[in-house]
Each structure stands twice: as C-alpha cells, then as structure tokens.
Amino acid sequence: MAQYTLQINGQKLQADVEPDTPLLWVLRDHLGLVGTKYGCGIAQCGACTVHLNDQATRSCVLPVSAVGTSKITTIEGLSKDGDHPVQQAWDEVDVPQCGYCQSGQIMTAAALLKRTPKPNEKEIENAMNGNLCRCGTYHRIHEAVKVAATKTN
Amino acid sequence: MELQEENNTQALASGRRDFLRLAGLTGVGLVLGFSAKASGQKTSVVNLSADSAAVLSFELHPFIVIDNAGGITLINHRPDMGQATWQSVPMMIAEELEVTLDQIKIRQSDGLRKYGEQLSGGSSTVRTGWTRLRQAGAAAREMFLQAAATEWKAQKSDCYAENGKIHHRPTGKSLSYGELVEQASALEVPADLPLKAKKDFKILGKALPRPEIPAKVTGVAEFGMDVEVPGMLYASIERSPMIHGKVVSFDDTNAKKVAGVTQVLKAERKLPYKACESVAVLANSYWAALQGRKALKIVWDNGTLAEELDSSVYAAKLRAAVAQEAPSYTNLGDVSTALASAAKKLDAVYETPFLAHAPMEPEVAIAHVKEDGSCEIWAPVQGPDGTIEQVSAYLGIKPEQVTVHVPFLGGAFGRKAYLDFVLEAVYLSKQTKTPVKVIWTREDDIQQGPFRPAMLSSMRGGVDEKGAITAFEHTLIGESISGQVFGFFPEGKPDPWAGEAISHEESPYAIPNLKVGFTRVKTEIPIVWWRSVYPSNSSFGHESFIDELAHAAGKDPLAVRKELMKDDKRFLNVLTLLEEKSGWNKTLPAGMGKGVAVAKSFGSVCAHAFFVKKTATGLVVDRVVTVLDCGMYVNPDNVRAQTEGNIAMGLTAATKPAITFAKGKAQQSNFHQYQLLRMDEMPKMEIHLVENEEAPGGVGEPGLPPVAPALCNAIFSATGTRIRTLPVDLKKLV
C-alpha cells in the first residue's frame, strides 16, 4: 500500500492503495466518486473517461501511481450545479437511455469542446468514436455535442 | 417529478400505515390500489384509505397515494433499464388523474407479490398498464369530483378536474386534491369509468422530458454497480472457462498474498437448471479481489466439455436437423403437394449465431444473508418479484424474508432477468456472514453467458407460372429457451414462445400453402432471451426468404409484401407508408441497393427500408427508414429512441463478430473482439410512427427483428450476393 494525494475536482483527496490500482477503482471504491463507470477494463468502451489535465483519459487503465500532480476532473466535478453546457445539452436532447455510459460520453464531449469549441461533424465523430453505447444513443450524442457547441463561446 | 430513494421495502411489507408514513402521508390520504386477482386489462381499483385496515391484506396493494397537500406518490412496478418506465408508468396515471408530472414522486416496487407482475420484459409495461393505470387515475379523479360537488352542494356535472384541483364552472371556485382528500377517501371507488379518447390526451402522446435524465447527466443516478453497503466485501469469481467444469483443486497461496484479500473459497453459480462450480476471492476492494483471482491456480475437470461446447459442432447439428419433420404453429394447405407442382422451387438455410447481451453495466449484485436467516439484495434486476422467488427458494426461506432493492439498470436486454449473478452473491454472503458485492468483469459477461441462442431457419417455397407465391415453409431449428432454462418443453409440440413474429397469426402472408414449425436441438451452451428473443433470429430467414421468392417471381419485394398482406389493415398500412416515406420506387443511383423487411412482435408492427451503398472500403448502410405501428404510445420521443436503439443493436448483431465456441471456450473476451457498433457506423435514420387508436403494442423490442433481413435484402439488391449466414462483414463486401 502507498499513500497518494490526488487533485480531484479542485480538492486534494488522499487514498491508501496499491500503486497498480487503476484510477477508476480508486475513484469508485476509495473516494466514493461512483459517477465514473466500469465498462471493460481495457480502454475499449470509454465508460470510465475522466479529464486528466483537461484531456479525456481512460481511468480504467491508468495506474494511480502515474497520476502524480495531474488535475483530475470527474463527472461530479465537471460543473458545480450540473449545468455544464454539455450536461445542459444532454438534458435538452434527452440523450440517455439506461444512462450508464453517459458520464464517459459527457466527459469525452466536454474535453472535445474545450480544445475544439466548434467541432465539425467529422471531429465530433472522431472524438466520440471511442465511447460505446449499447443502447444506441449515438445520434442523440452527436446532436447534443452540436447543441453544446452553441452554448460555449 | 422527483426521484425518491427506495430504502423502505421492509416497511412497505409491514403494512399500510408504514407505507403511508413513508409516502409522506401523515394525516388522512387517498390510497388506491388494485386487487391482485385482477390481471391484464380487466382490473378493479380498490380504496385502501379506510383507517381500520391497519395492515394491508395480501391481495391489496397501493399504487397511488395522495396526501393532504396534494402530493402524489406512486409505485413504478417495472425496473427501468433504459426503456423509460420511470416516465411511462406515471404518465398513464397522471393523464386521467388530471395532475401535472411535477406533482408526482416515484418509487420502485420491491418485488412483493402484491404489486403483481414486476418483470421488465417482453416489451410489456405500457401494454399491460395502459387500461388499469388509467382506470386508477380516473377513479381517483372521480372521487375528488364527487367530494367537491358534495362540499359545494353542486352538480358534479358543473365541476371539472385540472392540474390537481377540482373547479366549479359556474362560480369559478376551486379546491385542491389535498383539500378534498379526507372526503374523497371515504367514498366508494366508482367502477367502469369511461377513459379519455386519444384526442383528449393532455400528457400521453407528448414528447415530455424524462424525469430521470438530470440524474443521469450529472453522475448521481445510482446504478447497481454504484451501491455500497456498510461492511461489504467485494468478490471476483473465477468460473470454469468451459462454464460447466468442476473444481478438482485450487491453490490460493498467491491469491492470499494480495493485500486486501480476506478469503478465498469454493463457490457456485446457480443456473436455473444446474449449479456450476467456481472459486471466489473476497477482498476489501474490488481491485484486490480481482488481483487475487488472477493469482489463483485452479485445476478443472472439464470432462467432455471441449467437444460439447463448440459452435461449429452445434451448427452442424442444426443443419442435420433440417430433414426432420417439425411440429408446427401454422399448417395451411399442403406445402409439399404445392411445391411438387410449383414452376419454381426454392430452398435455403439461414443461420444466426450465439450473441452476448453485453449491457454496459456488467452483472453485479450485493447480497446480505443475515443472522436471522433473512436476506437483503441490492441488484440491477429486471424482475424484483422473480428475485424474491429465486433467492428464497435458493436459501430455503420464506419470500417475506427476502428484501430486494432495485436501482437503475445500466442496460439489460434480457440478461438481468437471469439471476445467476444474484445467487452468487447470496451464496458468498451465506458462507461469509457479511454483505458481499459480486462484480463480473467484462470478460465474465462475454464468455460465461447465458447467450442469445444460435438458430437455423430452414426455408422452402414455391412460385407458380403466373408469379404467385404458392408455398412457404419455415422451420426454426435450435435450442428451446423454455426447455433449457425452465426444463419445460412440450414434447411433440413446437416451443411455446418461438412462433412469435413467424406464425401465420403474426406474419399473415396470404400464401395458400403455409407451414411454420420448430425443431428443438439441445445445446450445453447456456442460452436465454436476448432483446426481441426468438424473432431476433427467426425474422432473418423469414423475411429474407420472402425476398428470395419475390425475386424468383420477378416482382418488387415491397409490392409482393403489400399484395400478400392486403387483408391485414395494419401491415398493409405500415408497408404503404414505408413505400411512400422511403421513396421506395425512386430509381437508385448506381452502386446503391435497397431492402425491406417487416415483422410483428410484442404487439407492434415494424418495417424497415435499408439503403446501402458500395464504397471502396466496403458496403455502407446509408439510410434506414422505419415505420412503426405500436398503436397508441406514451412518449413519441422515447418510442423513437427505443427504435434507434433497436436498429443499432440489430446492426451490431448482423454485422459485428458473434460469440463462437471452440474447444469448450468462448473465443471472444472483451470489446476488442466482441465489437459493438460505434458512432461512425450509425446510418441516417428516419422513424415514422403510425397514428391510430389501437391498444398500445410493445416498443422496446419490435424495432429489432426486421433489421437483419432488411439489411441483407439491401445487400442482395446492391451486390447480387445473398447473405444467409450472420454476421456479415460489410467491409468485405466490395
């Protein structure tokens, strides 16, 4: 076991875990941040996506020992009141069905809009293609990213 | 609408008073429920308000509670796995009750039998709730109307209900439901009230925002995977790669060296018909449990499983059964005689593979078997009532000793109505006397099953010299879900469920010599229902072969379907609309193809037109046009969402790698091999809903069955290649 101090959602949080523990399980089992989901464990589905220094990152394959002082943002910290433009757009378009993958979808979309505020169709597709949705909400995700882009300056 | 934590099942069980208290009802209230004896569309609404009935009788259960502030609590009796029962159930009640949705609090039912059938399955929530839930709402509204009329000494006909109030038309005065609740609760429940016609709906049929969406976009919606219980241990379980293998011995030396691992024990996975052996590693974190599991050394006795669990061997068995005479659902005229005199005779075999459900949330369950012998469950299950039944039977305790909490389901598609993963947690909790959370890995989910069965459709047909289809025979061959899972298979008869979408009742092609049958071929590979169940297999052969016969007759495939369905108003209407909306009769550009298929399943008729185009890198699905007749519906936007999902899941099933077994093991383990459709592969979709006043049909599944045949008929149109075995790799069709 080793003690880690992590910068998560603007706070310093401590976890006493094995160094190889993926950030995903540190968030979920040790810090109570369960909005980030487990889907595959091999970075194939995107359900575990968080921001690492504003970059969309798969937390299921990122050992906690590799996080260091990087700033982590999870779905819980994306906005104070759940009103990030991407969350608003997801709500307006009624994107989720079961909703399990949507934290990861939203984090991926928010990272995209941060670096490319007005993405074209292809840029949306390329950014979102790594996130699986078994319910098949892809068209609504695509639409919601476009709606969110109109809300950000 | 407000989501309420479901943390009170125990109290719910203990009686009406507790229920009322938990519903926020401190004083007098109006409580309406149903008689459990009433099932289906015929129902009787019962007033449970009388204070003398301190404990709710077994047959009576509250569905609606209205307190003296006008607040309404109601039970959603069907778990939400993405199909939106959190909205559809309240909307049906609110329409007749004349309340707005924001006055409603929703609670998930807990599986107690008094809530009746609680399985989310068979696309049945709206279909079975449509009349009874609206009747309950109407009964409450009428009681408020009567109470107000009495209070005002007015004519009831001068009063009307709106937004949770009764208004007096001549004077303009009003009283809220909360103000009237005491008087209303003393009244008899009026029977046989007329329900609103579709044209008068204020809520039903409107695309209202879903109440649980805000929780699902902020990460606060609680899924089964997210539940934590004080003192719980995490378990990761190593099961035989050959599913049914037996544990000869295991070495847990290294597993126990993993920090956090507390215990390693032999465990079991109870399938409905047998128990499989496994070894479980328990730890104080999931990651530790998983690392411990990876460090196990287990010797398995796999017997002859390497030969028995082989999908190629099974496929050969299905082909060998083609020659067998099959018990039939439909047997009109005489197919063999008609074929003997047909100008053109066709026969073909269509094959569909095993598939995993792969909900994004893998199987997960927490169980706590307590010292007093009772058991508490927290798990994303499709049927809380079935969970109580199976857990109590497994432990040998009474159903009343089992409490079930159902959070949101992170997808299910049929998988979470199969409760092996819940019973694993129960087993481990019983052994360890602690709450245990069992989490399946994605590899467990994809490799351990149960799976959508692989099946074969054996087709024969004939066309006469005038181009009329005179004979059609479909024999569906495969394992019976009912037979394997429940040990129920009526020998000498076809499977009880497998006629869906293909029997003449649901596929009313006017072909004079028509036979539809089923032959059972057993497998040891565990199977279960998968979104749309048998029609996900059988529509492929059924609707592809109609296409083959149309081409043999030299006719347009859509025109042939219209001609053969001309006596069925709803099928004909769906096909006619599809022809118009899709621009079916327009000439396609070079390199494009079009295909159509139609199927009725779970009470709804759905037809797709697929348009595909050839590209340098393979065939691409350009556009899908859909017409769905699901009768009256609750939320058109959700009907479209479900249909989009059905098309995506149907396309995944038709074009992405299947589950194959070789030498006893599933050959796919995670999403790198068992690939799902991604965003860039989504075709354009146009979904048209038929407007009529028919009783509601299902929505969660009927969009899926016609996907594969419409796609493959379009592939034939574009390339001349007839696809008879799924999956088809579109990239290889150049």
What is the SS3 assignment for B496-541?
Answer: CCCCCCCCCCCCCCCCCEEEEEEEECCCCCCECCCCCCCHHHHHHH
Q: Residue B645 in 3-state DSSP?
A: helix
| B211–chain A nearest CA distance, Å | 10
What dotted CATH number matches B2-217? Answer: 3.30.365.10
Q: How far is B564 from chain A (nearest CA, A)?
A: 33
Confidence bin at A153 (pLDDT 50/70/90): low
CB contacts of A138 in chain B (<8 Å) are 648, 677-679, 682
Q: Does A27 touch chain B (CB under 8 A)?
A: no
Which residue from B minimizes the CA distance to A141?
B679
CB count within 10 Å of CB B321 equals: 17
Across the range B224-238, mean pLDDT stands at 98
Q: What is the mean pLDDT of residues B144-169?
A: 96
- State pLDDT tens for residues A69-94: 999 999 999 999 999 999 999 999 99
Quote the pLDDT of residue B75.
79
> Residue A95 — very low, low, confident or very high, per pLDDT cuts 50/70/90?
very high
Residues of A in contact with B620 (CB under 8 A): none
Looking at residue B22, what is its pLDDT? 44
Total residue length of chain A: 153
On the question of pLDDT at B41 being above 90, the answer is: no
Out of B33-42, B119-128, B296-305, B693-702, least confident range: B33-42
Mutate to test the interface with A, among B640, B679, B686, B701 (most CBs of A within 10 A): B679
Binary contact (A98, B81; C-beta < 8 A) = yes
Residues of B in contact with A98 (CB under 8 A): 81-82, 359-361, 408-412
Q: Considering only CB atoms, which chain B residues are within 8 Å of A132?
A: 360, 671, 676, 678
Nearest-CA neighbor of A50 among A130, A121, A138, A110? Answer: A110
Residues of A (31-50) whose Cβ lies below 8 Å from B: 32, 34-42, 44-45, 47
pLDDT of residue B3: 37
pLDDT at B50: 53
Phi, then psi, of B476 in degrees rounded to 5: -85, 130
Of the given ranges (A100-104, B114-118, B223-227), which has the lowest mean pLDDT?
B114-118
Cross-chain residue pair B287–A21, CB shorter than 8 Å: yes
Residue B29 pLDDT greater than 80, yes or no: no
Residue A129 scores a pLDDT above 90 = yes
Task: List chain A residues with CB under 8 Å of B641.
Answer: 94, 97, 137, 140
Q: What is the pLDDT of residue B62?
A: 67
A98 touches chain B (CB under 8 A): yes
Chain B positions in Cβ-Cβ contact with residue A102 (cut-off 8 Å) = 216-217
Do the chains contact at A17 and B223, CB–CB below 8 Å?
A: no
The verdict on a CB contact (< 8 Å) between A35 and B218 is: yes
CB contact under 8 A, A21 and B409: no
The nearest alpha carbon in chain A to B701 belongs to: A135
Residue B653 reports pLDDT greater than 60:
yes
Q: In the structure, what pLDDT confidence band is assigned to residue B63 with cuts at 50, 70 and 90?
A: confident
pLDDT at B436: 98
Min Cα separation A20/chain B (Å): 9
pLDDT in tens, B525-560: 999 999 999 999 999 999 999 999 999 999 999 999
Computed over its alpha carbons, how large is the radius of gyration of chain B? 28
How close is the nearest chain B Cα to the Cα of A69, in Å?
A: 22
Q: How far apart are CA B493 and CA B580, in angstroms?
A: 41
**Section B44-68 average pLDDT:** 59
Please give the class, per CATH, of domain B224-305+363-439. Answer: alpha beta
pLDDT at position B713, please?
Answer: 98
pLDDT given for residue B40 in this prediction: 43
Interval B266-312: pLDDT, tens:
999 999 999 999 999 999 999 999 999 999 999 999 999 999 999 99
Consecutive H or E run containing B147: helix B125-152
- pLDDT on residue B341: 96
The confidence score (pLDDT) of residue B192 equals: 82
How does pLDDT run across B614-624, given as a tens digit for each residue?
999 999 999 99
Is residue B705 classed as helix, strand or coil in its secondary structure? coil
- Predicted local distance difference test score (pLDDT) of residue B118: 86
Lowest mean pLDDT among B72-86, B412-426, B446-460, B676-690: B72-86
Any residues with CB less than 8 A from the CB of B294 and at least 6 apart, and which?
A: none
Nearest CB to A132; choose among B360, B409, B410: B360
**pLDDT above 60 (res B12):** no
Q: Cite the residue boundaries of each domain of chain B with CATH code 3.30.365.10.
A: 2-217, 224-305+363-439, 311-355+451-732
Q: Which chain A residues are within 8 Å of B226, Cβ to Cβ?
A: 28, 34
With CB atoms and an 8 Å threshold, state whether B648 touches A136: yes
The pLDDT, as a whole number, for residue A152 is 76
Question: Do residues A135 and B411 touch, judged by C-beta distance below 8 A?
Answer: yes
Residues 120-139 of chain A with CB under 8 A from chain B are 125-126, 128-139
What domains can you pick out in chain A, each with its CATH number? 2-77 (3.10.20.30), 85-151 (1.10.150.120)
CATH code of the region B311-355+451-732: 3.30.365.10
Under the banding of pLDDT at 50, 70 and 90, the label for residue B114 is low
- Reference B410, options B673, B640, B234, B226; nearest CA is B226
Report the complex ipTM.
0.98
- Measured in residues, chain B has a length of 734
Question: Model confidence at B58, in pLDDT bands (50, 70, 90)?
Answer: very low
> Does the CB of A101 have a partner CB in chain B at under 8 Å?
yes
B702 pLDDT band, cuts 50/70/90, is: very high
Name the A residues in 75-94 with CB < 8 Å from any B CB: 75-76, 82, 87, 90-91, 94
pLDDT exceeds cutoff 80 at B260: yes
CA distance B362 to chain A (A): 7
Distance, in Å, from the CA atom of B450 to the CA atom of B468, rounded to the nearest integer, reads 42
Identify the CA nearest to B2 among candidates B67, B71, B85. B71
Q: Which helix (H) or strand (E) holds B249?
A: strand B246-251
pLDDT for residue B28: 57
pLDDT at B5: 35
* % pLDDT > 70, chain B: 92
Percent of all residues in chain B with a pLDDT value above 90, rounded to a whole number: 83
Res B19 pLDDT > 60: no
Read off the pLDDT band of B61 (50, 70, 90).
low
Q: Which residue has the tokens 């075999």?
A: B349
What's the pLDDT at B185?
85
- Best CA proximity match to B602, nearest among B579, B640, B631: B631
In the predicted structure, residue B498 carries a pLDDT above the cut 60: yes
